Structure 1
Amino acid sequence: MEQLTGQFRKIEFHHPFTPYDVQDQFMRTVYDVLERGHGQIGILESPTGTGKSLSLICAAMTWLRNHKKARYELSVEDAAEDFKDEPDWIVDQMLRRKREELLKKWEEREARLTRVRAKEKMLEQRGAKRRKVDNGTPAKKTQDSEDEDEWLLTDREAADATDGDDSTPSFSKETKTLMEKLGMGILQREDDENPDDDEIKIYYTSRTHSQLSQFVSELRRPAFPPSIPETLLDGKSTDDPEGIKHVPLSSRQRLCINPSVSRLGSLSAINDRCTELQKPKSKDRCQFVPNADNLTQTHEFRDNVLASVPDIEDLLNLGKKLQVCPYYSSRTAIPGAEIITLPYPLLLQKTARDALGIKLEGNVVIVDEAHNIMDAVANAYAAEIALSELKEARQMLAVYVKKFGKKLKGENRVMVAQVARVVDGLSEWLDGALKLKNDQGIVDPNVLVKIKGIDQINLYTLIQYIQDSKLAYKIEGYVAHAEFQRNGELARTTPSTPVLHTLLSFLVSLNNLSSEGRIFYNKVPSRDQHQPPDIKLSYLLLSPTHAFSSIATSARAVILAGGTMSPFEDYTAHLFPSLPPDKITTLSCGHVIPPENLCVWTLASANPKKGGTDFEFSFQKRGDRAMIRELGVAILNICTAVPDGVVVFFPSYGYLDEVVETWNRPDVDGRTPQQQQAIGTVWQRLQARKAVFRETKGGSSDEVLEQYTRAILGDDKNNNHAPKTVIPGRDRTNTSAQAGPMIQTRTKTNGALLLSVVGGKMSEGINFSDRLGRCVIIVGLPYPNINSADWKARIEYVETTTLKRLTDSSNPSKTGGISGPGPEAKEAAKQAARDFYENACMRAVNQSIGRAIRHRGDYAAIVLLDRRFGTERIRRKLPGWIRGGLVPDSERGGLGQMMGRLSAFFRGKRGS
């Protein structure tokens, strides 16, 4: 594995600002990885606040434009090679014709896009209003008069066409003929040869649409020179930059403009209804899907996308304006795109890539926020089903069969009966599992499928039937319709939890179960004491290796970039275990802040010289109430020295509750009740020092953040330091939870204290910049629960696969009478499992640490409050910029020395 720190040739990256040294180093490394050719991997760490996104854009786009220029020149050279035996005047003529041909295509494309930009600008200057959008023709039937036969399963053999999955719909014969003529799912002008089809593209993916929108904002900043070389311009010059061609991709759920479909809510229901409305015999054909009638608008959509740098909202509005489906029409722009942005799930699943027409072969993949890429792969393939959902599914089946049972014939009758048998079998197993002693455990799939004879059913055929027939949508849709008819009021269009779609996902996982996956059961306590506990089956992908390998082996290069990628070992060991070291480049950039803006202290003990208690918040020791009180005193002292905002991260919500409970108790150290009352509890003293807020599990982080910010900055609505509330997997408008921020009623405070949890809502995606995060405190090491069934399985899997790999590599022929792996291999495998477990902990720690320093002028203190942070094994897994800010030998100092250092640190900042 190569670490790049050397010198590179001079490259102009067209950065809109003067880049810092770390940005220049980052851009050169990205460029070098892309330049090296097929199969290259870059694992790059650049702290948040160092302009990572802009550096990625400038490096990748500079390389892409240079690569395009080289390909243009190469195509001319190839043409010359074809005529090498001809007279010089013929060669010159052919080369001139080739140059003119390439230049003409480039100029025509750019001219077309320039006209689109000019038209849009003119409309804006005139203040023209966008055409009034009819969100769809009125439904021919209201819900209360819908023909119930709409929900009847059709005979698959009689259908003109069927679609194999949610994302590969059937079109009418006319549309299919047109699409086949013009390209699979990609509509283009008939007279176009689409010269961009084979151009290299950059696929950029991140975790959330909010992060993608931020990336698009950065994408609009730089300007890059044309992609055609000056040698082809024949003396012409073009000083104008060439616009970036960007296409954002997303799901139907975000891009559907048909109100009868988009109102369904759940992604699975929207997918099914969308494909239903494209079948030839559909009574309500979707008018927005690209077809022969709206080909002009589809081309206009394509040109508008390529002429601008749109985000998802722009795509949605453009589709409404032109009255064409943004989900399908966006694909027409893919051949001409240079950068394509999409969320994790659309890239990580091959079925999703195929559905969108994404071809990774020879292209570049950039994964941002890649610190959680392994979890993202696991989540993309995860599935679960609860007993309560199975019971609901069974009730739905009964309602549906009661209505349509006599009309079901042949295959439909057989398949519906098989679905019912599967539901009954899984329900019976889960009912029995409720009596098991353990609350969780691994499930043998062979035992699971024997109940009710599920193993006699061809699950592959059944899954294909459910997908093709849209069984889940039809049953859930009919039940919702019947509910509406019965209640006489607007019921939900589909169940809030699409249980039959959930069942389908679980069956897919069960049918594709491999050595990398496990099925678990987990008992779920009931929130209502009058209701019985629930239990669920979950499928977990233990390793992302094979799921990610199709991306790694197809792409020209893969860049994994993040603010806190340390420790790096997991990515090389579990994403690219078979790649040779020379294919992998790693880089850990420093921060852009000056060294004096960061103070990192390891507090191992309050008073080590006098034999004070070591701070060790391990599972075995963290319940020590004396240590918890000392922790409170330490935080109280820190709050005295640190102005404005202090954020504390605890290992878990449960431990945070335990700590707060202990802090609320009076100290029992010989003081009289009167003395104790005068001093107060630790909790009361903390509240007297700062306004105290607390994150709660399931609570509203938005509400807590808003009050925390107000306590520090006041009611100034124009402040620029409010935390960015990008909450992973949550809707920012959700403020319904009972967070109960714990704030004291005193009006005069010295800032605020926020008690949060590593891995919680505050630990990722939120910027505690400037006054909001002058100090971040990490309490303990948040190791996952090693006794949980899923972590036991993960560790066992890592150990087993590592041992096999070591054994195979030492014995390639697998001959010679070797009886088994030796002790060294066994110990190495155990160590690999321990590292995997510890690295999961440290990635979470590093994410939390990164909440504080957010830009060049920011400054903060980091306190690592556990003696284990002083060990070399843990320290080497911290990001380089944190290690660089560590006060030497701070783990040997105590609370007094730390207070002196912190006081001097912030005193110096006040004076600067």
Structure 2
Amino acid sequence: MPPTDNNDDNTPPIDFHHPYTPYDVQLEFMRAVYSVLEKGNGQVGILESPTGTGKSLSLICSALTWLRNHKRARFSASFDAVAASLHGEPDWMIETALRRKRDELARGWEEREAKLKALRAKERAMEERGRAGKRQRVGGDDAGGARGKKEVDEEKEFLIGEWRDDDEGRAGDDPLGMFGRETRELLEKVGLARRKGGEEEEDGGVEEEVKIFYTSRTHSQLTQFIAELRRPEFPPSLPEGMVPAGDNEKGGDMKEVVKQLPLSSRQKLCINPSVSRLGSLSAINDRCTELQQSKTKEKCSFMPNPENLKGTHQFRDKVLATLPDIEDMHRIGKEMQVCPYYASRTVIPGAEVITLPYPLLLQESARNALGIKLEGNVVIIDEAHNIMDAVANVYAAEIRLAELRRARQMLGVYVKRFGKKLKGENRVMVAQVGRVVESLSEWLSARLLVKGDHGIAEPNELLKARGADQINLYKLIRYIQESKLAYKAESYASHVEEQETAAPDGKLPSSTPVLHTLVSFLTALTNLSTEGRVFFEKIPGPSSDVKLSYLLLSPTHAFSSIASSARAVILAGGTMSPFEDYKAHLFPTFPPEKITTLSCGHVIPASSLCVWTLASTKPIPMGSSSANVPDSFEFSFQRRSDPSQIRQLGLAVLNICTVVPDGVVVFFPSYGYLDEVVKIWQQAPDSATKSIWERLAGKKHIFRETKGGSSDEILQTYTQAILSPNDLKKAPSAPHGTQTGALLLSVVGGKMSEGINFSDRLGRCVVIVGLPYPNINSPEWKARIEYIESSTLSRLTEGPQASVALSRDQAMAAAKQAARDFYENACMRAVNQSIGRAIRHQGDYAAIVLVDRRFGTERIRAKLPGWIRGGMAEGSEGKGLQGLMGALSGFFRGKRRC
């Protein structure tokens, strides 16, 4: 499907500075990205480019080319303004004015460099003053001896400091609101924060006008992106001839290094051993911010301060001069003996590209804490097929009864030790925390006595006991965060346990961060009630337990701050189809002309892909529907447990394994169904006949994904069976030397369905069994369907987007259809992810077999990626197993000849 904004034939081609000769599909993708960014003004691009087509490099080349062109255009616009103001004047006057403007811009460049030079001199002077102050403090002794040391240390370490509710809302308005006044002023002084109102520091560095924020799902994906970012070279952002003499002494085209900054959490960047060893992110955050409190004597020595300004500035310069990843940031911080988490703030103004993981971009509070402003900037979300789930996960929270009991125990131990020393607001607030814990505990305890394993919980009912419903949750959450109650109470409980257990290995016993979990859950309860639901679920096991879970039903409101503020948003992924959900739930108010969609083809030739729909074992007569064929494959919930159908499936897989070389991966709808299938395949009709399982084992080594099992171990042995079969122990049921390759039985949505690379011999055939629809009877999906129906109906009948052409009944029908589409799209996104495991590069080839008659319907096929639809054999759904075997035999015979 071509982009909705194809370039005009008269438009000159764009040099994207791709380090290689790009394929046609890469050029199509880069043009679409460039067009979205160039239009700006809240444009959105939803772009699909199959894995193996160089998507990341295409994103880099198109986005950075646009950014540099955009910068040059700003300079050119200033020249055009001069020329326009002199319209009708003699040419010599216009030339003189333009030359004066050019000299003015050149002087501006030189003045900026002089400003930077002066800034360095000022920094050196500040560094010298810092060293002098440090020399004056050397030799100061610490009062206090061993007398009463234990009690004093405990109070110093664990007692809550004085807290007053006299700064309501400060943390929400000020990214540094979590710190004391002295610390905030210090951060501003050393350039780690903008001053109130966005005023620029008088000695601030050069700030890039437009930035690109790039985010992906995992740390490793961001590292791979940065590695790709090092490949291309881009021209400078200044127009040709504008670089002052002496700045390009080597001659030729000057290449301007991309200025990139990776951001991450304290857990990845902390270099203070006493903090990083705490392990959990919440504990690290609390301990770190506690060390920055103005009243804390024991400060972190790595925190940027007047004494280590030199290291802070060297950190900034080194990061901007290179293209570091997170490991590099950690290493540079250790070299300079300055905290990379805080020192990275000095790099943000001068960075062109900022990479960060999903949670840091998707949560507005996280963006505020980092000082990230999206207004007028570009947001690129890679691996965006799961962006709606990612938003839901960021805002999800859960807590168990066992954790609440643990929290009550920890609070009891803490109050017993320090209760008499708590004063004023502290005593009141700690008591309120206890009441909330008691109320939640009582509600969950009552659920253990009722019938049913799960259900929906009313938020108002959760806090009815102990008068907890009268407590201001916003204030309570802020108190726990600012007072560091969670860290101090948990640390003290850990301290007591350490003394009681006296661990022989010297390691601190780990304390579950249950109070942090409580804060997350209470924060979720403060979200809009229309957008989320709270569920309870009994936990199976020997110990009776039950948990509360908060589920965000819609990502619309949470994502709106990104969608409405950025200059442009790009959603890119290998399997984005179907597109409708992103439009309906991330950009519901955006007009069609603001959204560009593109589904690129693959870089492989058509001869390298064979896609087949196996609707039945036997051919379907012309004019008949597969739904009316008795032995057609349909793995719906009502039919999938039919033993006859499962055995027919086994025979089909056996035939596939006979003709497909090397690796075959079969994806099932769920772990439970995979167990059911394997059980029937392992049953032999009689003692003289081998079971389907034994016959499969005679063809290939069989591997099976298990819920909770190690995917790395399975993948390693599966790979070994294909690439180094002589080193692998033969299956007991198989004759020695007859197995060729391996068969992997996996699950759609499982560990093998995303992020695993089954390239080349590891995945010569991918088989999808059935359509993995979620359990629509689960409380979570019932709530989702109900929410989509109600919100769609409201949009169609109320407010500015209401359609006057629709009757109430028509609007209701449209709302139900929207919910059905969302449900089906969730299924097809999971299918498309599993399919994408096979073809991974231009020279790869594979067969894809879709086993279910419903894959032959146009509605389902329309939700497959374009490159899959293009490789689908015409009429395959009516040709049965014999037709499939002929197609596979011919396909792989042709590849062997190649």
TM-score scaled by length of structure 2: 0.89
| Residue in 2 that maps onto 1:764 | 754
Q: Does 1:3 align with 2:11?
A: no
| Residue in 2 that maps onto 1:66 | 69
Shift in CA distance, 353/747, structure 1 to aligned 2, threshold 3 Å: farther
Contact conserved, 1:694 with 1:756, CA < 8 A, in 2?
A: yes
Contact conserved, 1:14 with 1:58, CA < 8 A, in 2?
A: yes
Candidates 736, 743, 746, aligned match of 1:753: 743
| Residue in 2 that maps onto 1:151 | 158
User: What CA distance in whole angstroms lies between the structure 1 residues aligned with 2:258 and 2:865?
Assistant: 33
Shift in CA distance, 22/546, structure 1 to aligned 2, threshold 3 Å: same
Contact conserved, 2:46 with 2:570, CA < 8 A, in 1?
A: yes
| Residue in 1 that maps onto 2:848 | 862
In the TM superposition, residue 402 of structure 1 has moved relative to its aligned partner by 1.1
User: What CA distance in whole angstroms lies between the structure 2 residues aligned with 1:612 and 1:368?
Assistant: 44
User: What CA distance in whole angstroms lies between the structure 2 residues aligned with 1:173 and 1:359?
Assistant: 23
| Residue in 1 that maps onto 2:625 | none
In the TM superposition, residue 77 of structure 1 has moved relative to its aligned partner by 5.2
Shift in CA distance, 112/256, structure 1 to aligned 2, threshold 3 Å: farther
| Residue in 2 that maps onto 1:277 | 291
| Residue in 2 that maps onto 1:675 | 688
| Residue in 1 that maps onto 2:573 | 562
| Residue in 2 that maps onto 1:125 | none
| Residue in 2 that maps onto 1:604 | 615
Deviation per CA, 1:842-872, whole angstroms, max 9, x where unpaired? 0000000000000000000000001110011
In the TM superposition, residue 468 of structure 1 has moved relative to its aligned partner by 0.8
The equivalences for 1:720-735 within 5 A come to none
Q: Which amino acid aligns with 1:907?
A: R
| Residue in 1 that maps onto 2:788 | 798
Contact conserved, 1:693 with 1:743, CA < 8 A, in 2?
A: no
Q: Does 1:703 align with 2:706?
A: no
Candidates 867, 884, 888, aligned match of 1:881: 867
Q: Does 1:447 align with 2:453?
A: no
User: What CA distance in whole angstroms lies between the structure 1 residues aligned with 2:390 and 2:878?
Assistant: 39
Shift in CA distance, 79/581, structure 1 to aligned 2, threshold 3 Å: same
Contact conserved, 1:648 with 1:776, CA < 8 A, in 2?
A: yes
In the TM superposition, residue 109 of structure 1 has moved relative to its aligned partner by 10
Shift in CA distance, 807/175, structure 1 to aligned 2, threshold 3 Å: closer
User: What CA distance in whole angstroms lies between the structure 1 residues aligned with 2:581 and 2:672?
Assistant: 28
Shift in CA distance, 365/708, structure 1 to aligned 2, threshold 3 Å: same
Shift in CA distance, 161/560, structure 1 to aligned 2, threshold 3 Å: closer
In the TM superposition, residue 824 of structure 1 has moved relative to its aligned partner by 1.2
The equivalences for 1:112-191 within 5 A come to 147-149=153-155, 150-157=157-164, 164=171, 168=176, 175-181=183-189, 183=191, 185=193
Candidates 198, 204, 209, aligned match of 2:219: 209
SS of the residue corresponding to residue 355 of structure 1 reads: helix
Contact conserved, 2:311 with 2:336, CA < 8 A, in 1?
A: yes
| Residue in 2 that maps onto 1:581 | 592
Deviation per CA, 1:388-437, whole angstroms, max 9, x where unpaired? 11011111111111111111122111111111111110011111112222
User: What CA distance in whole angstroms lies between the structure 1 residues aligned with 2:97 and 2:509?
Assistant: 68
Deviation per CA, 1:612-632, whole angstroms, max 9, x where unpaired? 511111111110011101111
User: What CA distance in whole angstroms lies between the structure 1 residues aligned with 2:746 and 2:379?
Assistant: 34
In the TM superposition, residue 882 of structure 1 has moved relative to its aligned partner by 0.2
SS of the residue corresponding to residue 347 of structure 2 reads: helix
SS of the residue corresponding to residue 232 of structure 1 reads: coil
User: What CA distance in whole angstroms lies between the structure 2 residues aligned with 1:109 and 1:698?
Assistant: 58
User: What CA distance in whole angstroms lies between the structure 2 residues aligned with 1:168 and 1:601?
Assistant: 57
| Residue in 2 that maps onto 1:34 | 37
Shift in CA distance, 436/303, structure 1 to aligned 2, threshold 3 Å: same
Deviation per CA, 1:24-55, whole angstroms, max 9, x where unpaired? 00000000000002100000000000000000
Shift in CA distance, 891/190, structure 1 to aligned 2, threshold 3 Å: closer
SS of the residue corresponding to residue 161 of structure 2 reads: coil
SS of the residue corresponding to residue 536 of structure 1 reads: strand
Deviation per CA, 1:424-463, whole angstroms, max 9, x where unpaired? 1001111111222221111111222212211111111111
The equivalences for 1:321-470 within 5 A come to 321-470=335-484
Q: Which amino acid aligns with 1:794?
A: R
Shift in CA distance, 270/804, structure 1 to aligned 2, threshold 3 Å: same
Q: Which amino acid aligns with 2:711?
A: S
The equivalences for 1:218-367 within 5 A come to 218-233=228-243, 239-367=253-381
| Residue in 2 that maps onto 1:652 | 670
Contact conserved, 1:460 with 1:511, CA < 8 A, in 2?
A: yes
SS of the residue corresponding to residue 463 of structure 2 reads: helix
In the TM superposition, residue 91 of structure 1 has moved relative to its aligned partner by 4.4
| Residue in 1 that maps onto 2:137 | none
| Residue in 1 that maps onto 2:654 | 636
Comparing 213-222 with 280-289, greater Cα deviation is found at 280-289
In the TM superposition, residue 231 of structure 1 has moved relative to its aligned partner by 4.3
Contact conserved, 1:80 with 1:95, CA < 8 A, in 2?
A: no
Comparing 91-100 with 436-445, greater Cα deviation is found at 91-100
| Residue in 2 that maps onto 1:98 | 104
SS of the residue corresponding to residue 56 of structure 2 reads: helix
Candidates 641, 645, 654, aligned match of 1:627: 645
SS of the residue corresponding to residue 757 of structure 2 reads: coil
User: What CA distance in whole angstroms lies between the structure 2 residues aligned with 1:688 and 1:835?
Assistant: 42
Contact conserved, 2:796 with 2:803, CA < 8 A, in 1?
A: no
In the TM superposition, residue 262 of structure 1 has moved relative to its aligned partner by 0.2
User: What CA distance in whole angstroms lies between the structure 2 residues aligned with 1:470 and 1:224?
Assistant: 47
User: What CA distance in whole angstroms lies between the structure 2 residues aligned with 1:47 and 1:111?
Assistant: 47
Deviation per CA, 1:821-842, whole angstroms, max 9, x where unpaired? 5211111111000000000000
Q: Which amino acid aligns with 2:162?
A: D
Backbone CA RMSD of aligned residues: 3.1
How many positions carry a matched residue from both structures?
847
TM-score scaled by length of structure 1: 0.88
Unaligned runs of 5+ in 2: 120-143, 622-628
Identity, % of aligned pairs? 64
Contact conserved, 1:4 with 1:586, CA < 8 A, in 2?
A: no
Candidates 759, 768, 775, aligned match of 1:778: 768
User: What CA distance in whole angstroms lies between the structure 2 residues aligned with 1:227 and 1:624?
Assistant: 66
Shift in CA distance, 616/287, structure 1 to aligned 2, threshold 3 Å: same
SS of the residue corresponding to residue 3 of structure 1 reads: coil
User: What CA distance in whole angstroms lies between the structure 2 residues aligned with 1:478 and 1:548?
Assistant: 38
Comparing 383-392 with 482-491, greater Cα deviation is found at 482-491
Shift in CA distance, 259/169, structure 1 to aligned 2, threshold 3 Å: farther
User: What CA distance in whole angstroms lies between the structure 2 residues aligned with 1:170 and 1:741?
Assistant: 61
In the TM superposition, residue 283 of structure 1 has moved relative to its aligned partner by 3.0
User: What CA distance in whole angstroms lies between the structure 2 residues aligned with 1:88 and 1:19?
Assistant: 42
Q: Does 1:194 align with 2:205?
A: yes
User: What CA distance in whole angstroms lies between the structure 2 residues aligned with 1:68 and 1:28?
Assistant: 18
Candidates 893, 896, 900, aligned match of 2:879: 893
User: What CA distance in whole angstroms lies between the structure 1 residues aligned with 2:773 and 2:252?
Assistant: 58
Contact conserved, 2:604 with 2:842, CA < 8 A, in 1?
A: yes
Candidates 9, 12, 16, aligned match of 1:13: 16
Contact conserved, 1:691 with 1:743, CA < 8 A, in 2?
A: no
User: What CA distance in whole angstroms lies between the structure 1 residues aligned with 2:662 and 2:855?
Assistant: 26
Deviation per CA, 1:269-318, whole angstroms, max 9, x where unpaired? 00000001111222320011111111111111111111111100000000
Contact conserved, 2:448 with 2:538, CA < 8 A, in 1?
A: yes
Q: Which amino acid aligns with 2:529?
A: S
SS of the residue corresponding to residue 782 of structure 1 reads: coil
In the TM superposition, residue 804 of structure 1 has moved relative to its aligned partner by 1.1
Q: Does 1:481 align with 2:462?
A: no
SS of the residue corresponding to residue 187 of structure 2 reads: helix
